[in-house]
Chains A and B, each alone.
Chain A
């Protein structure tokens, strides 16, 4: 453990960013059981999903942090090495809230024997390098069977997540109202067809269906254990009310009073730069992260508008996936009359998508050029932040331009 701490410090010293991966890599070579040792005397919660895991990890850390010391890897180094590095510098008994990559749930759960597991959603993402979402759901199910946690908090409106979570001894089911269902049309139990009718869903061929609900989320309230809490939170949108519901349900399961937890969430205004409103060359911008169709489905709902110009940035590096075909699974037509400016290394892919969506658009070579075009637009209102919606590596570039992670 001391070795891990030294390596993490050394890594930071030589400016490998936050030191969260290099330190962990070497640590793992020194002791493959380090993660198990590091978590042997602390309470652990695991958060995994395709979308929202960083935000929910931050919200749960904050909710628990009002009562106890909490350590977390919420900066996004979410595989075993990054997790080890985050834990190596904490006190051995601090509660750990761990964001875990979808593919690493089994290995992290086996090592940590986490008591609480939050499973938010599963949808298509970076298909050129990751696995079919159905296989991920099966892996999660296997993981929860092999190492049953005390409590699983799961999305009752995502049939793939439901399939995985059903094997757990105790599940708190959240009615998320998830609208993206394109990856769950085939029943994970029998390959039959899942029918979505109103808020319910069920398989046409077997008895797999939406479980009975414990927590609900609507436009104004989060209802949990017979108590209702008024949204809004500081973070925008329905998707963040859902993330908050997961955090509150988990905090409650882990013994923190819901009211204290809820109050703490008000202090979260951004998560690793997501939703940050910042000054960029004299104009206000708001940073949004949207990196796959389900994420875009939520992001399009949050846009400032209805006619404020929008900047969209898409890269296709290894962390983004090399194939931006998924842009055609996004209903960009929902931007309506906004002028949309395409930037990023795959801006021409965006331009073609917008052209076929009959969307008013222009291509720019950089965020600076895009902002100049925004300022010249007749619909530019300096009092309204300009949304800059980016996928993973493009988001990191833009975040660095406005001061990086705070």
Chain B
């Protein structure tokens, strides 16, 4: 396990890099950078957010990298660019923390299926493999239990994770990884587990703005970077209200909240 990448945490701004939002960012993935930035700012910690489009050089000295979800074609293109650049690989070697969402998680693994179902080589930063399975696409609320991260500062309990998933692959964690959580409602990795953690790289099928609904996951990633002493409590009452509502929605399998026949007739 690596130590905190920040040599002097009080000295400079926390640097967050959003990778390739032009290719991977279909479902509001940009929200994760907003969540992390605000949670630092509200605690009086300076933050520098850098957006790197495909083709641009990737700085390898930032603290935290975000890789979003995306469609099949752009997913392959992003893999090619990241492999060529090697910037993310170098950053991980230096101990940077990475959050990879959905397609982002798939391409960071050893192998993933492309649009035609052909298995392609991934970036190997997450010890997992994603395969195409013969089942309907997993689309709906995802709720987990037993979520935790182990950082140099100890084990951090994340509480229930809540989000939306929309993917077709099945992800098999390898021996050098742990899962992020256990599935209570939804599909997740496909084997009852959800997400993959290898060292400082975290992958999840909670898609899009996953951190918006999961402030403890956001804070765990930040704590990895700035240490536990900087993590003063915040007013999360708006978020708690949303989480409570979504827990109920997932457990009641309320995929279609109060959907009426008139809705269906109007737009079918």
Residues of A within 8 A of B (CB): 16-17, 21-22, 76-77, 79, 124, 127-129, 132, 134, 182, 185-186, 191, 193, 315-319, 322-323, 325-329, 345, 348-349, 351-358, 363, 392-393, 396
Residues in chain B near residue A182, CB distance under 8 A: 22, 25
Residues in A whose Cβ lies below 8 Å from that of B265: 16-17, 21-22
Bound form: Cα–Cα A355–B237 in Å: 10
Q: Which of B125-133, B188-196, B223-231, B238-246 contacts A (4 or more CB under 8 A)?
A: B238-246
Provide the bound-state CA to CA distance between A86 and B72, in Å.
38
Q: Is the CB of A322 within 8 A of B140?
A: yes
- B263 contact set on A, CB distance < 8 A: 317-319, 393
Q: In the complex, are the beta carbons of B257 and A316 less than 8 A apart?
A: yes
Residue among B22, B30, B140 facing the most chain A CB atoms (10 A cut-off): B22
Judge whether A352 and B266 touch: CB under 8 Å. no
Q: Does B31 contact A (CB under 8 A)?
A: yes
Contact B257 A127 (CB under 8 A): no
Interface residues in chain B, defined as those with a beta carbon under 8 Å from any beta carbon in chain A:
22-23, 25-31, 34-35, 38, 53-55, 71-74, 77, 139-140, 164, 166, 207-209, 212-213, 238-239, 241-242, 245, 255-260, 262-268
Q: Which residues of A contact B72 (CB under 8 A)?
A: 132
**CA distance in complex: A349, B23 (Å):** 25
Q: How far is the CA of A21 from the CA of B209 in the complex (A)?
A: 36
Cβ distance B219 to chain A, nearest Cβ, rounded Å = 14
A317 touches B55 (CB 8 A): no
How many angstroms from the CA of A208 to the CA of B34 in the assembled complex?
34
Given contacts A185-B22, A323-B164, A355-B239, contact A134 B257 (CB under 8 A): no
Distance in angstroms from B130 CB to nearest chain A CB is: 19
- Given A128-B166, A358-B38, is A351 in contact with B241 using a C-beta cutoff of 8 Å? yes
**What residues on B are CB-neighbors of A352 within 8 Å?**
212-213, 238-239, 242
Cα distance, A206 to B212, chains bound together (Å):
39
Q: Which residue of chain B has its CB nearest to the CB of A25?
A: B268
Residues on B with beta carbons closer than 8 Å to the beta carbon of A349:
242
Asked if B255 contacts A322 (CB within 8 A), the reply is yes
Q: Which residues of A contact B22 (CB under 8 A)?
A: 182, 185-186, 193
| Minimum C-beta distance from B116 to chain A (A) | 14
Closest Cβ of chain B: how far from A22's Cβ, in Å?
7
Within 8 Å by CB of A355, from B71, B77, B238, lies B238
The answer to whether A186 touches B166 (Cβ under 8 A) is no
Nearest-CB residue, chain A, relative to B30: A328
Tell me if A356 and B207 are in contact (CB < 8 A).
Answer: no
Question: CA separation between A322 and B207, bound complex, in Å?
Answer: 13
Q: Are A134 and B73 in contact (CB under 8 A)?
A: yes
User: Is the Cβ of A186 less than 8 Å from the Cβ of B74?
Assistant: yes
Besides A352-B242, A356-B35, 6 other A-B contacts (C-beta < 8 A): A129-B139, A318-B264, A325-B31, A329-B30, A348-B245, A355-B239
The residue in chain A whose Cβ has the minimal distance to the Cβ of B163 is A325
Known: A134-B73, A345-B258. A323 touches B267 (CB 8 A): no
Question: Given A351-B238, A356-B35, A318–B259 Cβ distance below 8 Å?
Answer: yes
In the A-B complex, the 9 residue pairs with the closest CB atoms: A328-B28, A328-B31, A325-B208, A348-B242, A319-B267, A185-B22, A325-B28, A328-B209, A351-B238
Q: Are A328 and B34 in contact, with the CB atoms below 8 A?
A: yes
* Contacts A134-B71, A317-B257, A323-B164 given; does A392 touch B212 at CB 8 Å: no
Shortest beta-carbon distance from B16 to chain A in Å: 14
Chain A hits for B23, CB < 8 A: 185-186
Q: A51 vs B23: C-alpha distance in the bound complex, in angstroms?
A: 22
Closest chain-A Cβ to B171's Cβ sits at a distance in Å of 20
Chain A proximity of B63: nearest CB distance (Å): 20
Give the CA-CA distance A114 to B62 in the complex, in Å: 55
Give Cα A213 to B257, complex, Å: 45
Question: For A193, what are the chain B residues with a Cβ–Cβ distance below 8 Å?
Answer: 22, 53-55
CB-based contact A327/B28 at 8 Å: yes
Q: Do B266 and A328 touch (CB < 8 A)?
A: no
Q: List 18 A-B contacts (CB under 8 A).
A: A185-B23, A186-B23, A317-B256, A319-B264, A319-B267, A323-B27, A323-B164, A323-B166, A323-B208, A325-B164, A328-B31, A329-B30, A348-B241, A352-B213, A356-B35, A356-B212, A358-B38, A363-B238
Distance A319 CA – B265 CA, assembled complex (angstroms): 10
Chain A residues, Cβ within 8 Å of B268: 21, 79
Q: Closest A-chain residue to B32, C-beta based? A: A328
Q: Are A317 and B259 in contact (CB under 8 A)?
A: yes
Residue from B27, B54, B238, B262 in contact with A325 in the complex, judged by beta carbons closer than 8 Å: B27
- From B27, B71, B241, contact of A326 by CB (8 A): B27
